[in-house]
Structure 1
Amino acid sequence: METPPPPDPMLERDNDLTATILRERTRLGHFIRRRVRDPSDAEDILQDVFHEFVQAYRLPAPIEQASAWLFRVARNRIIDVFRKRRELPLVEATAEPDDESEYRLDLALPSQDAGPEAAYARSVLLDALQAALDELPANQRDVFVAHELEGRSFKELAGESGVSVNTLLARKRYAVLHLRASLQAVYDELEI
């Protein structure tokens, strides 16, 4: 009687890779779409994460916690999208409030070209911003992201959601106050 040939390790790795992607695709897609409004950007990020996962999976050192690795890379890609949009002003309220400073975050990020310390400070600030955004109630986070990062007007948001401009302004104000409080400790620690 012949013994069957040993299983092909590359085939097993490919099967594990496929199973991980199929298992995590929906959850990872939801994670990204909750943070990135533009569906095509969200899909691009998802594809980039899986592409990087396939490349990393083929390296000799195995990925121990595939799910955690995927979500960490996705979070980094989302932050990269926010960084690319940093050229947008951090707030020009369409309705002119009495004290516009209540509606402004004024997040000052060190330049990417200012050396390793500035790059580290940028990274820490962006991580803190993402963590603070994650702490916000969904309605406040959505208004902040739509207005600040996507550059959408309050009038446009009100038309789409059926929520009044004043309510949207209030939600954004609460978001800004929370973000300021959360980021102040990071600024103080970094002494920016």
Structure 2
Amino acid sequence: MQVCDLYENLKDDVQRYARSIAKHAYEADDLVQDAFMKAIKEPNLAALPLHKQKAWFFRVVKNRMIDISRREKRLVSWEDDLDIAELPVSSRNIEMTEWLARLPQSQSNIVFKRFWLGMSSQEIGEQLGMPAATVRYKLQTAIKKLRKLWEEDMK
């Protein structure tokens, strides 16, 4: 059984489940796509019984949704701390550019790729040749430094 067979057999169930836990339909579509992309990399998945395949997909969709929720919470928390929304857009961009310039180049690069280009930690890691966990660690370190810079500027 190939991934295309898995898709035909399970897409409706996986889609329904994703829509039940996602906030928006487009988010559910992304969850389903991510799950089937991950299935491509799992050679033993096709050999499992149907009920175990379905459970595997549901677990992948649920875990991906948890990852997205965590990332959104961190992003919202970071944006709330900085009160960037109160600045005019051009001023915001200038100020953020100045803060990024005060970070080490490697951290500035990761922040830029994550928040301006919208890349995932996995994509950034692949591009920079490091594990996604290292990217997330460096991103969190950079955000802490940005908070400190912001606090210093607000004094």
Tell me if TM exceeds 0.5: no
Which structure has the greater CA radius of gyration? Answer: 1
Using structure 1 for the length normalisation, give the TM-score: 0.37
Structure having the higher helix fraction is 2
Using structure 2 for the length normalisation, give the TM-score: 0.44
